[in-house]
Amino acid sequence: MKLSYFLLEVKLKVVIIGTVASSIFGFRMPLIKELLGKGHSILVFAIDFNLEQKKELLALGVSPVDYHLSRSGLNPFADLKTMLTLKNTLKEIKPDIVLSYFMKPVIYGSIAAYLAGVPKRIAMLEGLGYTYTPSLNGFSFKKKILQYIQGCLFSISFRATNEIIFLNPDDPKDLSKYVLFYNYSHKVNILGGIGLDISEFSYKAVDITKPIRFVFIARLLAEKGIYQLIDAIKIVKKKYPTAELLVLGNLDKESPSSLKSKELESLIQQKVIVYPGHVSNVTEWLSESHVFVLPSYYREGVPRSTQEAMAIGRPILTTDVPGCRETVVEGENGYMVPAFDVNSLVEKMNWFIEHPEYIEPMGKVSRRLAEEKFDVHKVNEKMLQIMGL
């Protein structure tokens, strides 16, 4: 593990432990800048920093720290080695606060911080993820074993934390079924979404004179509902041929549940979907769409893409599952359908096509809800309170 940081005349020293560096730049920067603005010293741990990322962080006054972690591996000896190495590094740094996020950092980072004598240890779980995501037939035997193992590890790591942050109220209740012999309810904080900079996602008026376009933004995984959505748009287009489905997301070649390249090419050729490939101007594509749709059954925290669509002012069509349900006030800014239910999805998609006059007012409610619930400045105020800063 390589360590580089500098000493400043600051209030407190805060360590943030994540996994991939992209998550720090994509989701943690507003909080990091808020902490810097208050004069705190920040060190961030990631497993794959490149030189440019390190330079960018150092220019801000943030110290990058390399460490090794197998994100999905099941080797207990490797994970134990990671935990001990983290403990030794934290003892050297002597931080006042450690914030760990994602499954493995929460487990091993929290225990390491406790063993290193860090005064305040905070864990944040942004959704329960793959292990706790059921299929149409429930949980596989492999997932049940993983749930038991993780539950045992959480029983230890949650004891080592002072505060535990969840994004939605379903996650702590559902996870408690697997965390044996320890009631952590007194440590639970519900954040309600990691938030976004509302000013970067300004409201965009919608043009209902154009053919109704639905937009899906996510990795093209079964768990995100991509197969149900494809089936639904095929049915919708039989009745309303001008309806469009814009798909913004990447294939995940490492996941067995990902849409395959040949399937994607076929859908594009048959004009079932509009697929522009990788885009950097997501807000422009969102503004050219009418309704955001995410039929996910994945254990989301609170989906970031849905928050962005709400901020721009689009109605939401999603599933009545943990995380997703936090983004919809039924009938006011959109609708929820049961997971896996293609017919219900078709019914609601047809409803929006048949009632375009409701799209704009529903979108305005989405914008108001985004301002109330997902403004990153309000979210960071909650985070700082939880951190005691």
Instruction: Give average pLDDT by consecutive 10-residue segment, the chain, 389 residues.
Output: 47 96 94 95 97 97 94 81 96 98 96 98 96 92 94 96 98 95 95 92 94 96 97 98 96 88 95 91 93 96 96 98 97 97 98 98 98 96 95
The residue ranges of every structural domain in the chain are: 13-195+375-387, 198-373
Architecture of 198-373 per CATH? 3-Layer(aba) Sandwich (3.40)
pLDDT score for 125: 97
Q: What are phi and psi of 70, to 5 degrees?
A: -85, 115
pLDDT score for 149: 93
Residues 6+ apart with CB under 8 A from 178: 147, 148, 150, 151, 154
Asked whether 36 and 14 are in contact (CB, 8 A), the reply is no
Specify burial of residue 319 (Cβ count, 10 A radius: 0-12, 13-18, 19+): buried
pLDDT score for 71: 74
Q: Do domains 13-195+375-387 and 198-373 have the same CATH topology?
A: yes
pLDDT score for 4: 47
| Whole-angstrom distance, CA of residue 155 vs CA of residue 294 | 33
3-state secondary structure of 31: helix
The tokens of 56 are what?
A: 């960018």
The alpha carbon of 82 is separated from its chain's Cα centroid by a whole number of angstroms, namely: 24
pLDDT score for 315: 98
What percent of the chain clears pLDDT 90, i.e. is strictly above it? Answer: 89
CATH code: domain 13-195+375-387 is 3.40.50.2000
| Whole-angstrom distance, CA of residue 244 vs CA of residue 337 | 20
| Whole-angstrom distance, CA of residue 313 vs CA of residue 308 | 9
pLDDT score for 74: 73
Specify burial of residue 253 (Cβ count, 10 A radius: 0-12, 13-18, 19+): exposed
